[in-house]
Amino acid sequence: MSRPPHAPPSPPAASDAALPAPDPAVPVPVRALPLWANPRLGLLVLLVILVVVFSSLRSEFLNTSLTLEPMQADLSVTVVVGLAQLSVLSLGHMNLAVGRIAAVSAFAMGWAYDKLSVPLPVGLLIGLAVGALVGAAAGWTIQATGVNSFVVTLALDFGLVGLVSLLYSGVGDGVAFHVHPAGMDSLRNDTFSDYCTGSVCGPPVPLIVPIALVAALAVGLLFRYARLGREILMTGSGLKAAELSGIPTARRVVQAHSLSGLLAALAGFLLAINNGAFSADIGSQFLLPSFLGPVLGGTLLAGGAVSVIGTVLGAAITEVIQTGLTLLQFQVEKLKIFIGLVLLAALSLDRVRHVVAERRGGGA
């Protein structure tokens, strides 16, 4: 692929995600916001405050095997789910089918382990391929028909709900594959502290955490440095402009959705590892967290700007609140009220901070 004649400059807003919608008449002056206005910093401070508050209220919050290890395992899933949504938010699209893509991929993995007895990595690859294919199919439908991504993935979600149940009742015992390919149990139960060289043991980090970290790093690098990622962002911020600049926008749409499907499949795999079974209900709880992480982290729904670090922080905050309130013996329903309130508060504060920062910056 040759470089387009008018390669557009990378948008300055891409790394600073939460710029308010600019007035179309007034060009946004390219000006660095002050450090304290960086939304990621605010999230980090909030995260630290939450951890301090919870650990002072309940000392069990810092208990390694009771709290920290399960929390990290859950967080790994949430982060990858958030990244799956982020991949299409970059286009200004949505993927309402993240959960079902995870479910159908988990079925493929479970089936491969159960019927084909493939080793763990091979099954994972099969699942990822299924997820990427389903995502690509959604992306292809969207770009070929011009139908809103919300509608297409909504229909896909409906379709896959039925399909997954049919698949599980057609093959296997109808609910789940209770398979244990070599390595799955240690991936589930072990942490790096179980592996020692001499007297030096690793940190109490579950083995699945690096998988999520690698995914986050890869997605972050893709959207920051890779040509593919930059072009997806440009497609998201202005389809016409991207097309006129020689970007194959249709292909970028398919690729972004395919990436979303792949990450959803990875999230399904991680959850199946955490649960210990490949079951039909995998992914049924993915939709809300998939938006919570990126949105808290400052990824725009309008497209053209993503923040991977923000997504990780946003997911971490949700996870810390959930774990903390559970330890404080809050019931599930109160927990939800708090998560909703925190989401609203964080987003409103973000707005306030930006308005203030803009005003000060304008006066300087």
Rule CB under 8 A: which residues touch other proteins? Answer: 20-21, 93, 141-143, 145-152, 154-163, 165-166, 169, 239, 249-250, 253, 288, 291-292, 295, 301-302, 331-341, 343-344, 347-348, 351
Q: Which is nearer to other proteins, 222 or 321 (CB)?
A: 321
User: Measured from the CB of residue 169, what is the shortest distance to other proteins in angstroms?
Assistant: 7
- When the beta carbons of 94 and 207 are compared against other proteins, the nearer one is 94
The residue among 166 and 214 lying less far from other proteins, judged by its C-beta, is 166
Closest CB 73 distance from other proteins, rounded Å: 23
- Give the shortest CB-142-to-other proteins separation in angstroms: 5
Q: Which of helix, strand or coil describes residue 181? A: coil
Crossing angle of helices 69-89 and 287-296, in 10° steps, is 80
- Tokens for 188, please give them: 């589930």
Give 266 or 315: the residue with its C-beta nearer to other proteins.
Answer: 315
Residue 117 φ/ψ region, left for φ over 0, alpha for ψ in the -120 to 50 degree band, beta for the rest: left
| Residue 188 one-letter amino acid | R
In sequence order, the β-bridge partners of residue 279 are: 176
Q: Output the DSSP codes for 4-71.
A: PTTPPPPPGGGTSTTPPPPPTTSPPP--PPPGGG-HHHHHHHHHHHHHHHHHHH-GGGG-IIIIIHHH
Q: How far is the CB of 22 from other proteins (least distance, A)?
A: 12
Closer to other proteins by Cβ: residue 113 or 177: 177
Taking the complex as a whole, the smallest distance from the CB of residue 90 to other proteins amounts, in Å, to 13
Residue nearer to other proteins on the CB measure, 118 or 161:
161
Return d(Cα 364, Cα 361) in angstroms, integer: 5
To other proteins, the closest distance from the beta carbon of 274 in angstroms equals 22
Least Å from the CB of residue 181 to other proteins: 28
CA distance 272 to 156: 22
> Which residue blocks in 171-281 are alpha helix, DSSP H?
184-189, 209-224, 227-237, 239-244, 249-275
Q: Which is nearer to other proteins, 147 or 328 (CB)?
A: 147
